[in-house]
Amino acid sequence: MNLDQTKRAVALIASAGLMSLPQGAAAAQQGDGRPLNVVAIGIFFVFVGITFAITWWAAKRTKTAKDFFSAGAGISGLQNGLAVAGDYLSAATMLGVVSLVYARGYDGLLYCIGFFIGWPVMLLLMAERVRNLGRYTYVDIIAYRLDHVGVRCMAALGSLTVVFFYLIVQMVGAGELVQLMFGLQYNYAIISVGILMIVYVTFGGMIATTWVQLIKAVLIMFGATLLMVLALAHFNFDFESLAQKAVQVHAGGNAIMGPGGLFSDPVSSLSLSLATVFGLCGMPHILMRFFTVPNAREARTSVLVAATCIGYMFVAMFVIGLASIVIVSTDGRFFEGGHAGGKLLGGSNMVALHLATAMGGNLFLGFLAAVMFATILAVVSGLALAGASSISHDIYVNVLRRKTTVSGEAEVRLTRKVTIVIGIVAVLLGIVFRGQNVAFLVSLAFNVAASANFPPLLTSMYWRGVTARGVMWGGLAGLVSSVGMVILSPAVWKTVLGHSHAIFPYDHSALFSMPLAFLVIYVVSKLDRSPAAERAKLAFDLQMVRAQTGLGAEGASQH
């Protein structure tokens, strides 16, 4: 791999984060797909059959709005933790991170730390209060004592922005990934993902979505563990020997075992760190998962289980990446022309699948390929449910129909209809954006979540003096500034739009847009002397009691 390829791989993975798809591999394969991988397709159909059975079972249990939106608050902490891990871990965990370790060594492990640090923040600041204050969406938390039309519209807009940006990336990635590994046509893959997403959410609601994510998490951890064990067995389970041979083989030599300046610019490094840590705490489809457990204790357990699974996966990916340096980079089968050291077949993000072929042949390759596609189904189902809930619950019920009573059955019916519309739109967007560099959309989603969603959420839960006007204008400031800065950044202004110089010099905006959001919230709240502002301050004590104890929470049992 030459320097230019390495830079491109690192840039793509850095901008995509851990919930994106392998855009480097996707961009490398714009032509026809490979021959049909019968094993992968067979395993995938087994997975689809199981999930259809789960959806049928879930549909029989989904009788109320609470069942549909929050699985009746009957999911255990262990189950929900696995589902959260399944919602967060995507194909980039198996493909992008391994590729980064393959290219840069130890820097790949350092890169993962920012995404892991967000989970202790989620545990300490968010999990318990989110569970006790929320009902169906994270907007309910902000609107608990700031129930203002502008607040709900602003929060719903931020939520939908994150959801649709992710959906575009997932759909484009699905088509390219399936074309690359299954040999199926791009449009067929897009349509199949859209149909399956609609079926899971429309019929099974949160119960089906939870179990799809749970099964996917178990499968991806099993696949990673098996690949890691087979790779370590190649070195007689001697990690020191593996590391020494990786140093000998890699062009970087000893440098790969130390930090090599993955981000030479400290401003970009800090901004990305803020986006990854606090963006997690503003992801609507992740926050929704805390409403599925019966109490705050189970919410904390969910975070602990999810963090354990995700941390384990990072370590496994590091070992797999080092093993790939030794095994894949010296095997001519995986390079164009059959000569090691040339251009890697399928692009740099195919490293993990090449290692699977070397360790377990086509059967293991087929299994991992099917798991990769299963990850897409799990993630898009969670995104679709979050988007549909935001439109039906936050906008329609609590804004457009706020002066009338809407039954739970009517709300569920509307959500199902919105899910179908979101599925159709997602398929069309996936087809429209085919072949485009959409990695910046995931960067934008993280920055929006950290700038537009997290500040209103945090201040509404922890600051007595915050007002509805402050949250509304602060959230809008974070949304507009984060989107605007990313559009003007090198990743979009130069790479996508083709301009010679970027107006905003950094790819990530969180270092600037997130403090701006907090500042606007503070200033506007301090200047707000309206009666609604005073009522919001008086309601803070009641909110604190519910946040700390769970008394009065929707369907919550006692600690």
Of the pLDDT bands very low, low, confident and very high (cuts 50, 70, 90), residue 471 is very high
Say yes or no to pLDDT of 160 above 80. Answer: yes
Nearest CA among 119, 121, 102, 103 for reference residue 18: 119
Q: What is the pLDDT of residue 133?
A: 87
At residue 135 the predicted structure's pLDDT band, cuts being 50, 70 and 90, is confident
Question: What is the mean pLDDT of the segment spanning 419-439?
Answer: 84
The arithmetic mean of pLDDT across residues 489-514, rounded, is: 86
Q: How many residues does the chain have?
A: 559
pLDDT value for 12: 39
pLDDT of residue 453: 94
CA angle 348, 219, 368 (to 5 degrees): 35
Predicted local distance difference test score (pLDDT) of residue 264: 66
Q: What local confidence, expressed as pLDDT, does residue 10 receive?
A: 37
Mean pLDDT calculated for residue range 384-394: 90
Answer whether residue 225 shows pLDDT above 90.
yes
Q: Under 8 Å CB-to-CB from 145, ≥6 apart: which residues?
A: 460, 535, 536, 539, 540, 542, 543
- What pLDDT does residue 17 have? 38
Share of the chain above pLDDT 90, in %: 29
The pair of structure tokens assigned to 180 is 């690359």
Q: In sequence order, which ranges of 328-350 are alpha helices (DSSP H)?
A: none
Domain chopping of the chain, boundaries: 3-60+87-433
Q: How confident is the model at residue 417 (pLDDT cuts 50, 70, 90)?
A: very high
Residue from 543, 470, 479 nearest 514 by CA: 479
Task: Give the pLDDT score at 559.
Answer: 43
- What average pLDDT score do residues 401-418 get? 85
Class for domain 3-60+87-433, per CATH? mainly alpha
For residue 170, the one-letter residue type is Q
- What is the DSSP-derived secondary structure letter of residue 72? G
pLDDT in tens, 324-341: 999 988 888 888 777 777
DSSP 101-151: HHHHTHHHHHHHHHHHHHHHHIIIIIHHHHHHH-SSSTHHHHTTT---HHH
First-to-last alpha carbon distance for the chain, in angstroms, is: 54
If you ran DSSP here, which 8-state letter would residue 534 be given?
H
Q: What is the mean pLDDT of residues 421-439?
A: 84
Strand spans (E) along 401-455: none
pLDDT at 557: 47
Phi, psi angle pair for 438, to nearest 5°: -105, 10
Instruction: Look at residue 360 and tell me whether its pLDDT is greater than 50.
Output: yes
Q: What pTM did the predictor assign?
A: 0.86
Q: How far apart are CA 152 and CA 141, in angstroms?
A: 10
Section 53-57 average pLDDT: 90
Q: How confident is the model at residue 549 (pLDDT cuts 50, 70, 90)?
A: confident
pLDDT for res 457:
94
| Mean pLDDT along residues 137-154 | 87
Selected residue with higher pLDDT from 437 and 97: 97
Range among 108-112, 441-445, 446-450, 473-477 rated most confident: 473-477
pLDDT of residue 30: 37
- Average pLDDT, whole number, for the chain? 83
Q: What pLDDT is stored for residue 558 in this prediction? A: 44
Residue range 203-218: average pLDDT? 90
User: 113 Cβ partners below 8 Å, 6+ apart?
Assistant: none
